[in-house]
Amino acid sequence: MIRQLRYRFRGYLLNSGQKSLLSFLMLLLFASLSPIAMTAEEPVSGRTQPSDYGIGPEDLLEISVWREEDLQRQVLVRPDGKISFPLAGDIQAAGRTTEQVQQDIRQKLQRYIPDPVVTVTVVTVGGNKIYVIGQVNNHGAYVIGRYVDVLQALTVAGGLTPFASENKIKVLRREGDQEIVLPFEYADVKKGQNLEQNVILKGGDTVVVP
């Protein structure tokens, strides 16, 4: 009797549990495939993000045109901020992004090559320099990244000497034919005051610490 009840109960479980078991297996299969799909999509979105780095004089660029072996080379940005490339002539590079330079080269090459695919990358950053002079422990020229503010530049230069005039620091910036003077009061900024003075430096800026 007990054996018969056991078989009946087992049969009931098999019949009533088929749908739930099938659903459970499908859920496990979906869960195992979902991470793979997300992982495959992540690099695609990362590659489509353009760089906002501003090219500077003395930067080394690598330019290539797909399926055009004669149009693959490295070029150095001249002091006037321009580069020369076959069939495209002189192109303004300094102060612009790689995507903007790509677009300029593409437009000029369209006269000779239908729908050219142009790639521009920065191989070496050589011209994005700032200068820190005066009462700092290590004055000189420094190659900077994209986002370096005045306080960070002073830190890179070894900090101020005991004789520095903390509230008389200036940033000299040349824009076209004009030279702009930006005041920087170190004593206030380190207290969290007047933080708008802690500007992002550009290539060619000079930080003067009297």
* pLDDT digit string, tens, across residues 66-118: 999 999 999 999 988 899 999 999 999 988 999 999 999 999 999 999 999 99
Q: What is the pLDDT of residue 61?
A: 95
Give the confidence band of 146 by pLDDT, cuts at 50, 70, 90: low
Q: Give the pLDDT confidence score for residue 175 in this predicted structure.
A: 80
Domain spanning 60-124, CATH class:
alpha beta
User: What pLDDT was estimated at residue 129?
Assistant: 85
Query: CA 148, CA 188: separation in Å to the nearest integer?
Result: 19
Q: Where are the domains of the chain?
A: 2-47, 60-124, 129-209
Q: Say yes or no to pLDDT of 17 above 80.
A: no
CATH node for 129-209: 3.10.560.10
Reported as a pLDDT band with limits 50, 70 and 90, residue 28 is: very low
High-pLDDT (> 70) share of the chain, %: 74
